[in-house]
Amino acid sequence: MHAMQTDTVIFTALGRLLEYPAEDFQESLEEALHCARETSPCVAECIEAFWADAARLSAENARELYTRSFDLAPVCVPYVSVHVFGAESFKRAELMTGLKAAYERAGCDCGSELPDHIASVLQLGPRLEPEEWADLSTLVIAPAADKMHAALEGANSPWRHVMRAVRKAFEVGDATHGE
């Protein structure tokens, strides 16, 4: 599979795992695991750990855990720009404006979420021009993923495994794009 196709597939799957769990939560989890096994063993290992924590959860229980992790008095806010620039920052506002334009150019929609929600950004990223995706991932998403992983790890949230998978996917992507 071409590197760009691999990026699109794996980051879309990871993005879906970082969305608020829908009724098809188990199917999304199975899809992500299958995709990772096909494209990246180190990412698959992280998703398998998530699977061990989350596979037995009903969609309702997954939503409750997700809410505790990301929404109400969150352990970890799901907005990448907050982790990089802070909640009240001119740079954050600039990034949000740029992301809105990027969604429009890519023909994507971030739905009811803010443009910098980790799930939306991961699904958008590989659809961007390679240079724009490289800048966004290096300057914003990867540093935010590190901080998000640390926060989720400290809280022992099952989503810590998904954030570790995101970090690994960037490492694999760096190796692939360096060739």
Give this prediction's pTM: 0.86
The contacts of residue 58 (CB under 8 Å, 6+ apart) are none
Residue 55 scores a pLDDT above 90: no
pLDDT tens across 85-94, in order? 988 889 999 9
165 sits in which H/E element? helix 159-177
The CA–CA distances, whole Å, from 88 to 83, 85, 96, 172, 178 equal 11, 8, 12, 33, 35
Residues 121, 136: contact at Cβ < 8 Å?
yes
Average pLDDT of the chain?
87
Which of these, 14, 2, 1, lies nearest to 170 by C-alpha position? Answer: 14
pLDDT tens across 97-138, in order? 999 999 999 888 878 889 999 999 999 988 899 999 999 999
Q: What is the CATH number of the domain that holds 33?
A: 1.10.3480.10
pLDDT band for position 175 (50/70/90)?
very low
Rounded (5°) CA angle 11-17-23: 140
pLDDT band for position 25 (50/70/90)?
confident
The amino acid present at 139, given as its one-letter code, is L
Domain count, the chain: 1
Q: Domain containing 85: what range?
A: 3-177
Residues of 34-43 as b/e, b for ≥16 C-beta within 10 angstroms? ebbeebbeeb
The pLDDT value recorded for residue 4 is 52
